[in-house]
Amino acid sequence: VEHYLQNIKQKAQLNAFLETFDEEAFAQADAVDQKLANGTAGKLAGMVIGIKDVLAYKGHSLQASSQILNGFKSLYTAPAVQRLLEADAIIIGRQNCDEFAMGASNENSSFGNVLNADAEDRVPGGSSGGSAVAVQADLCLASIGSDTGGSVRQPASFCGVVGLKPTYSRISRYGLIAYASSFDQIGFITKSVEDAALLLEVTAGPDGMDSTASQREVPAYSELLQADKKYKIGYIRDCFESEGLDAEVKNAILNVKDMLKEAGHDVEPVEFPYLDYMVPSYYILTTAEASSNLGRFDGVKYGFRSDNATDLTSLYKKTRAEGFGPEVQRRIVLGTFVLSADYYDAYYTKAQKVRRLIKEKTDELLQAYDFLILPTAPTTAFKLGENTANPLAMYLADIFTVQASLAGVPAISIPVGRDTNGMSIGLQLMTRSFEEPQLLAFSNYIM
Ligand code: GLN
């Protein structure tokens, strides 16, 4: 704990942590010491973990890096965090992220940008940018974050660490601030696949407070990390032909593909005809869900309330105008538009149908192949400010991560190389729902 707290202080310019929980972390460490001495320590004994500012931890500030939640403190602890504590992990602090997890570069936080520790003039990715940099820069051993359309995988790719998004519903979402509920999934950023397996094993499983959390039994993922068979792997050809894919990223991923083939795995190109529809359907559906989910932040129930209100309507308007940042406001407006009576069928209903097609095609491919491999992101970490003027360009950068989110299947990003600027390149693997054991085992094998 001392080691990490010192690193967090020394590398404060990275802006990865919003606050640290020094006293509690030391107390937790002392308790773990005692348990280790008497042989009762849990599976995560002594693992020092940071939590993204979207997960409830009783008595601590929870803001989704937004000013609209200024002053709000969690009334309870999210089961995902509670289970970490029960397994004797140590929670060291709260991590910076894009406001309400909306973003891909951590440039939408009301607490300022997070810097990539490999090159401080570059973004860490997002929305879990603080969580990824924290692991990259050795500010904690692992981070727990959320992935709605790539927010764990893409920053992991940009920071050279592992990012796991489990199957939708594998972990209870109770106590996770909602962005787009039919996509939101808790995930982990770690240095190794083994750590991701351990964290999943401890946090997954049914929960009385989230009826959508899967009832399926939770395998002992960390004991199933041996990939001892030859797999069938599809690489989505359309992804590799897509305009905007950086040549160095492309070559690095194709190299891994060739290595897997040489190692005796059955690797084939597959067609996925819906690439152009992925980002539009993702942004129509997630903004629609967000506009509804964020309706609760009205200045009455949580956190910040505008001082300039004169009546109830102006209280709502002024609180929301002052409390939400520009990207969140943009998405609320977009989402409200696509749900409005005149446009509902043209946008929302259509996007739901497209999502169904994407899910069916993805599931069909995953019946024929154990894994689909593709880049995690079309580029490596870009320069701060490079994409901020053009929200559409920023959205398009999510092209490879939103497929698993639209389909609800598990996916992981693992580091497989660096470009000539020294920035990390991530390989993404997807597999069938609830087949995390083979996803983790195979990723472990590749790393
Ligand atoms: N970049 C995507 C978005 O802005 C993904 C964010 C996320 O997964 N929370 O919606």
Report if residue 44 sits inside a domain. yes
The stretch 21-47 carries a mean pLDDT of 97
Report if residue 420 sits inside a domain. no
Q: How confident is the model at residue 309 (pLDDT cuts 50, 70, 90)?
A: very high
Report if residue 443 sits inside a domain. no
Task: Report the separation in Å between the CA atom of 187 and the middle of ligand 1, taken as the mean of its atom positions.
Answer: 13
Q: How confident is the model at residue 325 (pLDDT cuts 50, 70, 90)?
A: very high
Say what the ipTM of the complex is: 0.98
| 38 pLDDT more than 90 | yes
Segment 172-204, tens digit of pLDDT: 999 999 999 999 999 999 999 999 999 999 999
State which of 148, 164, 327, 394 you would mutate to test the pocket of ligand 1, scoring each by most atoms of that ligand within 8 A of its C-beta: 148
Instruction: For Cα atoms 103, 108, 111, give the angle at the middle one, nearest 5 degrees.
Output: 135
The stretch 275-285 carries a mean pLDDT of 97
Residue 136: its pLDDT value, please? 98
% pLDDT > 70, the chain: 100
Question: Ligand 1 atom closest to Cα of 152?
Answer: 8
Question: Ligand 1 atom closest to Cα of 179?
Answer: 9
Number of structural domains the chain divides into = 1
What contacts 388, CB < 8 A, 6 or more positions away?
A: 105, 107, 394
Cα Rg of the chain, angstroms: 21
Report if residue 21 sits inside a domain. yes
Task: Report the separation in Å between the CA atom of 367 and the middle of ligand 1, taken as the mean of its atom positions.
Answer: 27
210 — alpha (psi -120 to 50), left (phi > 0) or beta?
Answer: beta
Q: How confident is the model at residue 227 (pLDDT cuts 50, 70, 90)?
A: confident
Nearest CA to 318 out of 332, 304, 333, 302 is that of: 304
Catalogue the active-site residues: 52, 127, 151
At 252, phi and psi to the nearest 5? Answer: -60, -40
Greatest C-alpha distance within the chain: 71
Name all residues whose Cβ lies below 6 A of ligand 1.
101-104, 127, 147-151, 179, 286, 398
Residue 228: its pLDDT value, please? 83
Give me the chain's average pLDDT, please: 97
Report if residue 24 sits inside a domain. yes
Task: Report the separation in Å between the CA atom of 303 and the middle of ligand 1, taken as the mean of its atom positions.
Answer: 24
* Cα–Cα dist 34/75, whole Å: 29
Q: How confident is the model at residue 27 (pLDDT cuts 50, 70, 90)?
A: very high
**Residue 160 structural domain:** 2-223
The stretch 406-421 carries a mean pLDDT of 98
Question: Ligand 1 atom closest to Cα of 148?
Answer: 8
Question: Ligand 1 atom closest to Cα of 150?
Answer: 8
Segment 151-169, tens digit of pLDDT: 999 999 999 999 999 999 9
Report if residue 218 sits inside a domain. yes
Report which protein residue has its CA nearest ligand 1's atom 5.
Answer: 149
Residue 379: its pLDDT value, please? 97
State which of 66, 127, 392 you would mutate to test the pocket of ligand 1, scoring each by most atoms of that ligand within 8 A of its C-beta: 127
Residue with tokens 């990824």: 132
The stretch 122-126 carries a mean pLDDT of 98
User: What CATH number corresponds to the domain at position 167?
Assistant: 3.90.1300.10
Report if residue 198 sits inside a domain. yes
Task: Report the separation in Å between the CA atom of 408 and the middle of ligand 1, taken as the mean of its atom positions.
Answer: 15
| 299 pLDDT more than 90 | yes
Residue 216: its pLDDT value, please? 98
At 392, phi and psi to the nearest 5? Answer: -65, -40
Report if residue 246 sits inside a domain. no
Report which protein residue has its CA nearest ligand 1's atom 4.
Answer: 103
* Cα–Cα dist 60/17, whole Å: 14
Q: How confident is the model at residue 243 (pLDDT cuts 50, 70, 90)?
A: confident
| 1 pLDDT more than 90 | yes
Task: Report the separation in Å between the CA atom of 395 and the middle of ligand 1, taken as the mean of its atom positions.
Answer: 8
Segment 50-97, tens digit of pLDDT: 999 999 999 999 999 999 999 999 999 999 999 999 999 999 999 999
